[in-house]
Chain A
Amino acid sequence: MDRTNSVSSKEAAFLHVTNPQNNGIHLEMQGTNCRQPQNSNITGLRSPDSGENSDGKWASRLLIECATAMSEKDSTKIHHLLWMLNELASPYGDCDQKLAFYFLQALFCKATDSGQRSYKTLISVAEKSHSFDSVRKLILKFQEVSPWTTFGHVASNGAILEALEGEKKLHIIDISNTLCTQWPTLLEALATRNDETPHLKLTVVVTTSIVESVMKEVTPRMEKFARLMGVPFEFRVMNGLNFLGELTKDSLGVQEDEAIAVNCIGALKRVDVEERRAFIQMIQSLRPKVVTVVEEEADFSSSRNDFVKCFEECLRFYTIYFDMLEESFAPTSNERLMLERECSRSIVSVLACDDEVDCAGDSERRERGSQWSVKLREAFVPVGYSDDVVDDVNALLKRYRTGWSLVLPAGADDVGIYLTWKEEPVVWASVWKP
């Protein structure tokens, strides 16, 4: 398993030390032999008749038990549960097995205080295995089977186009890891809708090395595509940053006569929690005409000092995500496997890395739309999506399998629209103006 990459000999010993003494556990595992409970240290884990197993949600139960044990520093229990999870987990099985696998990895790193190292290892593994072709294929395939990302693209493009209507010089600052998959449709819209196609300058802000190398290939393609569309185009990739928080107004090179749009897709969460307000202020200093913010709907921030709470929220979110992946892709899809692997880094980062101490790269501490709204209101005013854009998003969702829906803001104070998967809000998109 990939996990073994990050396992040192000491940690391996740790794993092997845990012998299969089932402490009051009686499970029906897939093909695993179960011994009868010897003692009853672990109570309440499972009812004796193991009837609860039938619902198949063993992973979340075990995982949360383990997380609780960790917070209580109950090492016997920890050992035991880790062992069990280890036995049951697999990145190639069903959702439960996968969740068990990836969260076990994070729990293990937490227990052995090796989160930082694991994260780095995972990053370097990903860097080696990613190429432009593989990343392109992955992203395009994902966008084809799931509106998880295209939801934000369509909403943001619509808002940007409307906000910059009539402007002659557009400058879009793209702070995202979408690898510019958002922009071809915008370019096409610019080319076909307006009477006079404006000049578009696109500045893409990049922080990770994977994205940096992929963008090398993206640049000529974007330029060629804009030429094909007949849109006067200027493209620039900013990749000198280690952290998003380092981004400054001057480095972006905005000009006075440009109509600026700042497109933040999954960007705010990458800023260190402490620096988020400052980052938003920096965006404000750019004097944009419109700011589009799209974030995944999860809260890993407010509970970051409460391990169990954070763990539960993390598990909740990724359970939805993995379920969505499973239902969107074909069963044997390689792309789905790769996307699931991408999650491992973020799970390890959130659960096993200490934000203050570890400088592992971009943060992964997501916040909910309502939380972002509070911060964004300090610098901007929320704007609703026009009916046309809402229609476009609805039409987009229709092109995918069932299970997706759009939720408009309910109350007067609610901002933004939500993409929901099986009634659970998963992605939040909003528009802000100065």
Chain B
Amino acid sequence: MVEIQSSSPSGVSPESAEATVSTSEHQIAADEPVTTVPIKKQRNLPGMPDPDAEVIALSPRTLLATNRFVCEICNKGFQRDQNLQLHRRGHNLPWKLRQRTSKEVRKRVYICPEPTCVHHDHSRALGDLTGIKKHFCRKHGEKNYKCERCTKKYAVQSDWKAHMKTCGTKEYRCDCGTLFSRKDSFITHRAFCDALAQESARSLPTVITISEGDLKVENVPAAAVKLLEPSPPLPPLTPSTGVLSPVLSIQSPAELPENKTMQPGSAALSTLVTNTKTTAATTAAFGSGGSGSLGNAATTNGLFAGILTGSTSSELSQSSIQPTPYSDLLCAMSGSKRTGNPIDPMSLSLSPALYPSNGASALFSSTSQDHQRYYASNSQPALSATALLQKAAQIGATSSKSSLLGLAMSSSYDLLDNASTMASSTTGRPMLWNHQVKLEHNLLASGLGLGLPSSSTPGSNDLMLGQSTLFDNNPTTLDFLGLGMGGSEVVPSGYSAFLTSIGGGLDMSTSSFGGVNTARETWDDSSDGKPSLLR
């Protein structure tokens, strides 16, 4: 334990690092070689090069201490002397606010007192006092904050709080379509799922190359985990999602189809076609709840309407339209929007009803054959697709939505990679995912213009997860554009044309994306404070 020696004339306790540091002449003693001040040091952390920075070594006690300034009257603790002084005013006590030193203020950097730590080195000092405090706590401190749900432990309270916001909201979707609210069930299921057998058959450059190569192992789990966790952390579940999630976490496929058939096609049609703001009256448990929000979307997603009008026909109930791609579209749209409206993920069940296909769920088609057919049939309902799109855009911000989004997303990583190349920026794998999400929305939005597969593998007509395909040997590849597995290889020329054709639309939608987001109430991503676009 090292005390910070200070000969500062201030009446503050010698442990107050800030007080002592304010005058640059004072020596700061540390527990290790780092002592002298001022030190002309080399660069600090990359990004904060400041050779003239003054290196401060604080003791562990100082770093961990909080509220060291205590009021003598009421024993209230404060982190800063200034705050204590202001508090003393309330007691009618003599107080004195210190001036900020008028001398030239040197940039101060801090090193970690732990000798084995990388930040113990002067050249790796951190430039922020709060930063070094948190670092010390995190790396070398005791983890006193525990998450109740998942038993993750944190040393820094703000880390813990940030975690609590997202814990339990994340949902995991397997390639086979089942949704899980529990990570352990998901992992166990994933290991035994038949979809896994397909996994290695597909070309997943990120994961496979890493696992086969000699790259750092730690990347693989992240990538693998990314494969496993397609749904980015979500805001707290909205009530409608709350209704949905328990159902979705029930993996028995039998249960979901029942709910899906609830919505008669005609009713769905009527709710969808009316582009008015209807209240989200849930007719069925998983019925048209989302339609109201969809209606809202209609008014603000004119962009998407614009994208779609060109290539869509007007028949809503054309049998050529597969529910799946549209559903994927909905998912994608929803995931991107994340408006916080109570979305009824089950409202996506409308799509099968709306598009009485040949009973096949292209969502789970895995053959390139279907893919071919998908591009073969170019008939499209125009208005309905647009309306659906707009309504789909509202569907977001709920875990199940994202999972549905993930439903579409996770299987077609090649598409993601393609999309990423079209994206403005990709900031590494984890961010890539979120970014892809945005892109895919746009892609999907435009993609609706493409013909939807006319038929697919026979299966349940459900969009919903946990299909009877759950344990089918028929891998349920959820590619939102009805692409087969290993999408890029089997992409027919039509797809490339498709991509280029929407290239323009992509930018438009991207730019309007932000606009749209601001137009409506922003989705609650206060969980990480990042702008919603980067979610």
Contact = CB atoms under 8 A, between A and B. Distances in A.
Contact of B187 (A133, A185, A195, A230): A185
Given A133-B471, A140-B188, A191-B221, A227 B211 contact: yes
Interface stretch (A215-223, A276-284, A302-310, A414-422): A215-223
Interface in B133-180: 146, 148-151, 153
Contact of A188 (B153, B187, B192): B187
Interface in B220-245: 220-222, 224-225, 227
Contact of A230 (B150, B188, B210): B210
Interface stretch (A252-260, A266-274, A348-356, A388-396): A388-396
A192 B221 contact: yes
Given A144-B251, A230-B220, A394 B188 contact: no
B192 A229 contact: no
A124 to B, nearest CB: 25
B188 A181 contact: yes
Interface residues of A, number: 39
A248 B318 CA distance: 67
B182 A399 contact: yes
Most B Cβ at <10 Å: residue of A150, A154, A196, A230: A230
A184 interface: yes
B301 to A, nearest CB: 37
A228 B146 contact: no
Nearest to B249: A144
Interface string B36-66: 0000000000000000000000000000000
A209 B251 CA distance: 28
A281 B222 CA distance: 41
Main secondary structure of the interface of A (DSSP, over half): helix
B149 A395 contact: yes
Nearest to B219: A230
B171 to A, nearest CB: 13
A184 B211 contact: no
A141 B192 CA distance: 12
Contacts of B224: 191, 228-230
Contacts of A394: 151
Interface in A66-91: none
A388 B151 contact: yes
B183 to A, nearest CB: 8
Contact of B217 (A137, A183, A218, A230): A230
B104 interface: no
A178 B103 CA distance: 71
Interface string A207-243: 0000000000010111011011110000000000000
Interface in B251-304: 251-252
A323 B527 CA distance: 41
B524 to A, nearest CB: 24
B196 A224 contact: yes
Contact of B188 (A143, A224, A229): A143
Contacts of B148: 395, 398
A325 B185 CA distance: 19
B395 interface: no
B217 A143 contact: no
Interface in A338-375: none
A150 B187 CA distance: 13
B200 interface: yes
A221 B210 contact: no
Interface string A181-202: 1011101100110011100000
Contacts of A388: 151, 153
A224 B200 contact: yes
A285 to B, nearest CB: 31
Contacts of B497: none
A394 B148 CA distance: 9
A136 interface: yes
B207 interface: yes
Contact of A137 (B182, B190, B207, B471): B471
B1 interface: no
B53 to A, nearest CB: 31
A185 B182 CA distance: 12
Contacts, number: 93
A91 B210 CA distance: 52
Nearest to A145: B250
B187 A184 contact: yes
Nearest to A396: B184
B189 interface: yes
A184 B188 CA distance: 5
Contact of A224 (B149, B153, B197, B251): B197
A395 B191 contact: no
B199 interface: yes
B192 A140 contact: yes
A230 B211 contact: yes
B217 A150 contact: no
Interface in B473-517: none
Given A144-B185, A191-B220, A218-B192, A136 B197 contact: no
B192 A191 contact: no
A27 to B, nearest CB: 38
Contacts of B218: 195, 197
Given A230-B211, A230-B221, A224 B185 contact: no
Nearest to B225: A192
A192 B211 CA distance: 14
A154 B184 CA distance: 10
Contacts of A136: 192, 471
B103 to A, nearest CB: 45
A401 to B, nearest CB: 12
A391 B220 contact: no
Contacts of A222: 191
Interface string A316-352: 0000000000000000000000000000000000000
B149 A150 contact: no
Interface string B411-435: 0000000000000000000000000
Nearest to B227: A228
Nearest to B181: A399
Contacts of B153: 388
B6 to A, nearest CB: 39
A225 B221 contact: no
B215 to A, nearest CB: 9
Interface string A158-187: 000000000000000000000011011101
Interface of B: 146, 148-151, 153, 182, 184-185, 187-192, 196-197, 199-200, 207, 210-211, 217-218, 220-222, 224-225, 227, 251-252, 471
In order of increasing CB-CB distance, the 6 nearest A-B pairs are A230-B220, A184-B191, A191-B221, A225-B191, A391-B151, A197-B217
Given A228-B227, A395-B151, 17 more contacts: A136-B192, A184-B190, A184-B191, A185-B187, A191-B217, A191-B221, A192-B225, A222-B191, A225-B196, A227-B200, A228-B200, A229-B220, A229-B224, A230-B224, A392-B151, A394-B151, A399-B184
6 contacts: A184-B192, A191-B217, A230-B211, A391-B146, A395-B149, A399-B184
